[in-house]
Chain A
Amino acid sequence: MLMSVLMLAIALTARADGDRLIDREQLPAKAREFLATHFGDKAVSLAKVDREIFDLRYEVVLVDGEKIEFTRSGEWDEVSCRYASVPVEIIPKAIYSQINQRYPDVVVRAINREFKHYEVKLSNGMELIFDRNFRLTGYDD
């Protein structure tokens, strides 16, 4: 019975989710600030808010194809520049220096900030995983 009620709750809330297109001005202030600092006044091609069951996320695609994802509060948690490089200032210094040491010729395509670790994608196809203290803990190639 409890299961049924739970399933009902999920089924009902699932209806509430979905994507909605927004303007740049509707992003949280912190997110707008982040865009202005690291991407200048590059226009937004597409910005949307993605409602999950218990969460809210913002996805912004800039006119040059960069994609940035923000949490509910406007903190960035993913920056992906598939055809360019992620602005160096975004990458934590400790991580950037390690990457530079090991792979001097590559650029960072994407950085993903998870709850306990960072995932960094490089232009040579490698994926590096760093823990909260910026120690390299894993590869994925």
Chain B
Amino acid sequence: MKLTSRVALNLSLVMIPVLALWAALFYVAVVDEINDEADDALEGYAELIIIRHLAGRELPPLNDGSNNSYQLRPVDSLYAATHPHISYQDVAWYIPEKGETEPARVFTTIFCNNRAEWFELQVATPTFEKDDLLMTVLGCIIFLCFVLLIVGVGLTMWVFRRAMRPLYRLLHWLDRYLPGHEVEPLSNETDIAEFNRLNEVAEQMVNRAEELYDRQKQFIGNASHELQTPLAVLGNRLEWMLDSLHLDEEQMAEVLRLLSTQRHLVRLNRNLLLLTKIDNQQFPESVAVDLVGLVCAEQEILSEMYEERRISCTLSLPENFVVVMNESLASILVTNLMRNAYLHSEEGGKVRFSIEGHSLIVENEGDEALDGERIFERFYQGSKREGSTGLGLALVRAIAESYGIALHYAFEGGQHRFCLTWPS
């Protein structure tokens, strides 16, 4: 979940109950005020009638065009003494002028005149207008609360997103960073102290990572370079021992085993050196290479090498497929993949090499999928094979990366499938 969405969600969750409470209380207050005002108006009307009556003036007509109506009747002092002098009721009020019964608010009061005669006055006003008003108020409150919520959350998200812009710029910059590639300068101007600090730290970390990466690369390069000579000397000594010393059979077998281990070491070292050179872009010269020719030549060599394992090979190649690459790297790329297919095939297995469009596809039979994430790592070996250095696929990836070639591994229908796709 994005930070802004989370903030918006949390804000809504907090705001909804607060707004609901606010709206409810506001509604209660408004209802109360409206009822109060309606009662006040009724009282005012009653007062007008009482004062006119007391002053002996003409009373307002019963049907004066307003919806209010009243009843004035004399009562005896006993009635006056036993009934409340002020009371409000909500009743169904019969309006004689209309001949209808309407829900109404009735105010009843008892008063006396200067001859000590008692009167009871009832004034009534219909409540449907009040009810309409309350419905309208309720609708308005709900609508306004929603608008307030939406506007509040929207504004917060907008402000928040603006404030967080440097963070997203920094994240994009970090996304673009790849170890071993040139670090583009971070331009993320901001006045915010926290983001400035974050920028600083991120830049420091990236520079440090870059430095360590370089140092490691250099170390591997130097180490394998320095190992070349002693390894060669070791090989020479062992060969000299075989030739010049008169060894018995057991000793000879032991020396031969040593020699085979030495050759493995030499190959391992050579591949490590090669990897370092590829990573350092030390193969600048490029020529047009026909991959079809390369595949055919390599296939001939391999079918001879693995003749006794009776691996059947299918080729599906166009007339030619020319790419611009360093020649030896192209050769390593193709042979490593193809050798890998032969090496990991069971006796009597099938391999298939094909070129389709811009893709070189190498397939061989297998029992289960390999770890697609890790097979291209150095020295990762799912199942150990004789004569494998664990660097073949790492070399393939290094070469593919340095030329921008897409490299995919998939396992489909009992087939390992390595696919190299050149950019068109």
Say whether B47 contacts A43, CB under 8 Å: no
Contact of B22 among A4, A45, A67 (CB under 8 A): A4
Binds A, one of B29-37, B122-130, B198-206, B289-297: B29-37
Q: How far is the CA of A45 from the CA of B54 in the complex (A)?
A: 9
Say whether A64 contacts B29, CB under 8 Å: no
Q: How many Å from the CB of B49 to the closest CB on chain A?
A: 11
Say whether B33 contacts A83, CB under 8 Å: no
B 113-143 binary contact with A (CB < 8 Å = 1; else 0): 1101000000000000000000000000000
Say whether B109 contacts A46, CB under 8 Å: yes
Q: Which chain A residue has the least Cβ–Cβ distance from B85?
A: A21
Say whether A48 contacts B114, CB under 8 Å: no
Q: How far is the CA of A1 from the CA of B19 in the complex (A)?
A: 9
Say whether B51 contacts A83, CB under 8 Å: yes
Say whether B29 contacts A65, CB under 8 Å: no
Say whether B109 contacts A65, CB under 8 Å: no
Question: Which range contains the number of A residues in contact with the other chain?
Answer: 20 to 34
In chain A between 8 and 37, which residues have their CB closer than 8 angstroms to a CB of chain B?
8, 10-11, 14-15, 17, 19-21
Q: How many Å from the CB of B57 to the closest CB on chain A?
A: 6
A-chain residues with CB within 8 Å of residue B91 when the two chains form the complex: none
B-chain residues with CB within 8 Å of residue A46 when the two chains form the complex: 50, 85, 109, 111
- Asked if A83 meets B55 with Cβ closer than 8 Å, knowing A14-B33, A45-B113, the reply is yes
- Asked if A43 meets B86 with Cβ closer than 8 Å, knowing A11-B28, A14-B29, A65-B55, the reply is no
B-chain residues with CB within 8 Å of residue A1 when the two chains form the complex: 18
Q: How many Å from the CB of B73 to the closest CB on chain A?
A: 16
The SS class assigned to the B binding surface is helix
Q: How far is the CA of A67 from the CA of B47 in the complex (A)?
A: 9
Q: Does B43 make an interface contact (CB < 8 A)?
A: yes
In chain A between 52 and 101, which residues have their CB closer than 8 angstroms to a CB of chain B?
61-65, 67, 82-84
Q: How far is the CA of A3 from the CA of B43 in the complex (A)?
A: 31
Q: Does A7 make an interface contact (CB < 8 A)?
A: yes
Say whether B86 contacts A19, CB under 8 Å: yes
Say whether B86 contacts A11, CB under 8 Å: no
Q: How far is the CA of A64 from the CA of B33 in the complex (A)?
A: 32
Q: How far is the CA of A109 from the CA of B21 in the complex (A)?
A: 48
B-chain residues with CB within 8 Å of residue A8 when the two chains form the complex: 25
Say whether A7 contacts B85, CB under 8 Å: no
Q: Does B26 make an interface contact (CB < 8 A)?
A: yes
Say whether B51 contacts A82, CB under 8 Å: yes
Say whether A67 contacts B116, CB under 8 Å: no
- Asked if A11 meets B32 with Cβ closer than 8 Å, knowing A48-B86, A64-B114, the reply is yes
Say whether B26 contacts A7, CB under 8 Å: yes
Q: Which chain A residue has the least Cβ–Cβ distance from B114?
A: A63
Say whether A11 contacts B22, CB under 8 Å: no
Q: Which chain B residue has the least Cβ–Cβ distance from A43?
A: B114
Say whether B50 contacts A45, CB under 8 Å: yes
Q: How many Å from the CB of B224 to the closest CB on chain A?
A: 70
Q: Does B52 make an interface contact (CB < 8 A)?
A: yes
Q: How far is the CA of A63 from the CA of B119 in the complex (A)?
A: 12
Contact of B112 among A3, A15, A19, A45 (CB under 8 A): A45
Say whether A67 contacts B112, CB under 8 Å: no
B-chain residues with CB within 8 Å of residue A3 when the two chains form the complex: 22
Say whether A65 contacts B21, CB under 8 Å: no
A-chain residues with CB within 8 Å of residue B50 when the two chains form the complex: 45-46, 61, 65
A-chain residues with CB within 8 Å of residue B51 when the two chains form the complex: 61, 65, 67, 82-83
Q: How far is the CA of A84 from the CA of B52 in the complex (A)?
A: 11
Q: How far is the CA of A62 from the CA of B109 in the complex (A)?
A: 15
Q: How far is the CA of A82 from the CA of B85 in the complex (A)?
A: 23
Q: How many Å from the CB of A27 to the closest CB on chain B?
A: 15
B-chain residues with CB within 8 Å of residue A62 when the two chains form the complex: 54
Q: Does A38 make an interface contact (CB < 8 A)?
A: no
Q: How many Å from the CB of A78 to the closest CB on chain B?
A: 12
B-chain residues with CB within 8 Å of residue A10 when the two chains form the complex: 29
Q: How far is the CA of A48 from the CA of B46 in the complex (A)?
A: 13
Q: How far is the CA of A17 from the CA of B37 in the complex (A)?
A: 12
Q: Which chain B residue has the least Cβ–Cβ distance from A83?
A: B55
Q: Which chain A residue has the least Cβ–Cβ distance from B26?
A: A7
Q: Does A42 make an interface contact (CB < 8 A)?
A: yes
Say whether B85 contacts A11, CB under 8 Å: no
Q: How far is the CA of A47 from the CA of B112 in the complex (A)?
A: 11
The 9 closest A-B pairs by CB, nearest first: A65-B55, A83-B55, A63-B114, A65-B54, A7-B25, A21-B85, A65-B51, A14-B32, A46-B111
Residues of B at under 8 Å CB distance from A? 18, 21-22, 25-26, 28-29, 32-33, 36, 43, 47, 50-55, 57, 84-86, 109, 111-114, 116
Pairs across A and B, CB under 8 Å, 19 listed: A4-B18, A4-B22, A7-B22, A7-B26, A14-B29, A14-B36, A21-B84, A21-B86, A43-B116, A45-B113, A46-B85, A64-B54, A64-B55, A65-B50, A65-B53, A65-B55, A82-B51, A83-B52, A84-B55
Q: A4-B21, A21-B109 are in contact. List 8 more A-B contacts (CB 8 A).
A: A3-B22, A4-B25, A7-B28, A10-B29, A19-B86, A45-B54, A46-B109, A61-B51
